């Protein structure tokens, strides 16, 4: 290896190692703390637990309706993600494969929403939900969450469909395939990495969303986990072990989903870098 490249490699690996440690350490600390007693956490926050005790997790699920909030968040996040993914996949396919008047302007109009802060849309969204008589319902959150992530999802999906050679579409068309068959059987399988990436980003955003879940719901039956954690602070009465256990259960689904689709996400990032 060329000795001149050593400083560059050392810097690169140092930055990557630092980034990994900064990303993993908080999660690992929360996990270890969830197995420790309150006394252990207060005396030495960074020590290892003396024993592995799942009592805090059992208490969270049995005493605080955690499972109900968990199921609410899971249902709302999955439903809104699937609805949004279907709509934005179709839109990304149209933007990536077809030419029509006003295409560029319309795409810019959709993606420019990235520049609009979420809080700036609170008043019109609240008014629309009230007029539709959907306040304090899961349907309200599903409808609102489905609109989140539109810009980023369209950008990723459009690039995914652009990367698919048009020769495949033309061959399928010659064989007598129609619009839907070309979309479902030809393009969808080849764009699965981009679809997976857009899906996981939207799911994580919907799973962790707090602000709109707070202002659009009031009843406990429609409460999501991020909002419930606010009430857990009072309910736990400074029981840090249970708080860390609850936090770990909020973090875990996102980690598990990413592990399942990480290969597709990496492929999407690589192909976007080459084609974009």
Pseudo-torsion of CA 55, 61, 63, 65, nearest 10°?
170
Contact 198, 151 (CB under 8 A): no
- pTM value is 0.84
Sign of the dihedral defined by the CA atoms of residues 71, 60, 26, 261, in that order: negative
Question: pLDDT 10s digit of each residue in the chain, 276 long?
Answer: 566 677 778 888 889 888 888 888 999 999 999 999 888 888 888 888 888 888 888 888 887 788 899 999 999 999 999 999 999 999 999 999 998 888 889 998 888 888 888 788 899 999 999 999 999 999 999 999 998 888 889 999 999 999 888 888 889 888 888 888 999 989 998 888 889 889 999 999 999 999 999 999 999 899 999 998 887 766 666 788 888 998 898 888 888 888 887 776 666 666 654 444
Domains and CATH numbers, the chain: 54-275 (1.10.3720.10)
């Amino acid at each position: 290896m060329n000795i001149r490249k050593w400083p560059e490699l050392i810097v690169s690996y140092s930055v990557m190692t630092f980034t990994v440690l900064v990303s993993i350490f908080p999660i690992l600390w929360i996990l270890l703390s969830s197995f420790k007693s309150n006394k252990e956490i207060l005396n030495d926050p960074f020590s290892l637990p003396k024993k592995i005790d799942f009592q805090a997790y059992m208490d969270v699920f049995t005493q605080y309706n955690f499972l109900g909030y968990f199921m609410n968040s899971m249902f709302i996040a999955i439903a809104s993600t699937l609805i949004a993914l279907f709509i934005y996949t179709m839109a990304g396919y149209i933007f990536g494969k077809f030419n029509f008047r006003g295409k560029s302007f319309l795409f810019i109009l959709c993606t420019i929403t990235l520049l609009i802060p979420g809080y700036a849309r609170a008043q019109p969204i609240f008014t629309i939900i009230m007029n539709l008589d959907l306040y304090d319902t899961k349907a309200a959150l599903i409808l609102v969450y489905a609109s989140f992530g539109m810009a980023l999802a369209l950008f990723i999906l459009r690039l995914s469909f652009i990367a698919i050679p048009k020769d495949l579409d033309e061959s399928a068309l010659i064989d007598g395939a129609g619009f839907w068959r070309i979309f479902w059987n030809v393009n969808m399988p080849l764009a699965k990495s981009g679809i997976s990436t857009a899906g996981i980003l939207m799911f994580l955003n919907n799973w962790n969303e707090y602000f709109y879940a707070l202002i659009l719901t009031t009843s406990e039956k429609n409460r999501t986990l991020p909002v419930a954690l606010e009430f857990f602070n009072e309910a736990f009465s400074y029981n840090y072990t249970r708080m860390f256990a609850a936090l770990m259960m909020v973090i875990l689904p996102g980690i598990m989903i990413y592990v399942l689709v990480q290969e597709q996400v990496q492929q999407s990032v690589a192909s976007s870098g080459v084609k974009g």
